[in-house]
Structure 1
Amino acid sequence: MPKILPADGGDVVEVILADHRWFEEALRELRDVSSDRAAVLADLATVLIAHAEAEESKVYPTLRRKDAIDAEEVEHSEHEHAEGNEALLALMEVEDTGSEEFGEKLHELSEALTHHLDEEERDVLNPARTDISETVRRELGDTFAQERARLIDSGCGDIANVRKVVAAEQQK
């Protein structure tokens, strides 16, 4: 099972990419019927919620202020986070991790998450690499890592919190 990575900071692009690779590994683990799917899902929920919320509160606003991405890109990324969170909640609500329903909901989450990672790496992280100084990327990486750690420590992946996050997104 992939351990939850501590995000120690550094270049924000590299910190976010490390999480993206971790998400892909967690999805692989969830596809494996012999893995402890409940434990992997709990870790995935925690990191996914912390990652998205830290991006939305710390990374996207800074990239927007620095003109690396525009308001439309921020809105699109936040919409994709909301879709991923809905798919995550649907998977978390499946009681039998060995059921066909679990496999179906896992496929939906995998599709949403894989699509978002691809687009974010091309449309958000590439401009961050080219339009933001190394100093700002490092400061932003540290800020992102601190917020991500705070959210993880708060238990943000608990199903009650995931339900709150999804409900708040649906109110927008």
Structure 2
Amino acid sequence: MSDYTIPRPVSGDVVELILDDHRLFEALMRDLRDSSADRAAARSAFASVLIAHGEAEEEKVYPRLRRKDAIDAHEAEHGEEEHAEINQALLDLLECAGTDTQKFDDAVEAMNEVLQHHLTEEELTILNPAREDVSEQDRRDLGAAFLEVRGRHLDEGVTVDTVRALVEEAREDGLLDDEG
């Protein structure tokens, strides 16, 4: 997969759209681990879609699912804490000068660990209840709102400074431990 065109669907069920992004993250992670892949391009695409996805979930998905009682305050806050940890891992990955160093490989491994934990937990504790407790029409409406914010962030692009600002904001909001 050397063509890193990020899919830009225009509509869909929010659960399916989120799952599609989760599978995209996993494919990009495979390329980040593959020394024969264009790791710099994979890292750039990964950063863009990861930030767009996380910001869209926090802005549109989590608040709406809370109002629908599909998830509770703890699950929404936990999701935001995990996004903050993922953003910290992403920052570490983006700050690696090269993609052929042990530091880069270590950053990929750390990213994969926090990402896989979050994907599994989100699919079990947020997406499954959303499937069961939120009507199909509401999931489609939420999908449109998710895609609008995701698209806006993809259009704006992601730089190391974007991610650094998100990590700093999360730290100020108490979502990150100060060990990083």
TM-score range (shorter-chain normalised) is over 0.9
1:126 is displaced (CA, Å) by: 0.3
Instruction: Give the counterpart of 1:9 among 8, 11, 27.
Output: 11
1:9–1:144 Cα contact (<8 Å) kept: no
Say whether residues 1:118 and 2:86 are aligned partners: no
> Matched residue of 2:28: which SS?
helix
**Aligned partners of 1:127, 1:37: CA distance in 2, in Å?**
36
Say whether residues 1:170 and 2:171 are aligned partners: yes
**Aligned partners of 1:27, 1:99: CA distance in 2, in Å?**
16
1:94 is displaced (CA, Å) by: 0.7
Determine the structure 1 residue equivalent to 2:67. Answer: 65
Determine the structure 1 residue equivalent to 2:137. Answer: 135
User: Please, which runs of 5 or more residues in structure 1 have no aligned partner?
Assistant: none
Determine the structure 2 residue equivalent to 1:101. Answer: 103
Runs of 4+ in 1 over 2 A off after TM superposition: none
1:160 is displaced (CA, Å) by: 1.0
> Matched residue of 2:59: which SS?
helix
1:8 is displaced (CA, Å) by: 2.0
* Aligned amino acid, residue 170 of structure 1: R
CA-based RMSD? 0.8
**Aligned partners of 1:97, 1:38: CA distance in 2, in Å?**
7
Say whether residues 1:54 and 2:95 are aligned partners: no
> Matched residue of 2:8: which SS?
coil
Which range moves more in the overlay, 1-10 or 137-146?
1-10
- For residues 10-58 of structure 1, the C-alpha deviation after alignment (integer angstroms, 9 at most, x for no partner) is 1000000000000000000110101111111011101000100000000
1:96 is displaced (CA, Å) by: 1.6
* Aligned amino acid, residue 92 of structure 1: L
- For residues 114-153 of structure 1, the C-alpha deviation after alignment (integer angstroms, 9 at most, x for no partner) is 1100000000000000000000000000110111001110
1:89–1:159 Cα contact (<8 Å) kept: yes
Q: Normalising to structure 1: TM-score of the pair?
A: 0.97
1:89–1:162 Cα contact (<8 Å) kept: yes
Determine the structure 2 residue equivalent to 1:33. Answer: 35
Q: Normalising to structure 2: TM-score of the pair?
A: 0.93
Say whether residues 1:86 and 2:63 are aligned partners: no
**Aligned partners of 2:103, 2:156: CA distance in 1, in Å?**
30
**Aligned partners of 1:129, 1:96: CA distance in 2, in Å?**
41
1:7 is displaced (CA, Å) by: 2.9
User: How many equivalent pairs are there?
Assistant: 171
User: Please, which runs of 5 or more residues in structure 2 have no aligned partner?
Assistant: 174-180
1:5 is displaced (CA, Å) by: 1.3
> Matched residue of 2:5: which SS?
coil
* Aligned amino acid, residue 94 of structure 1: C
Percent of residue pairs bearing the same amino acid type: 53
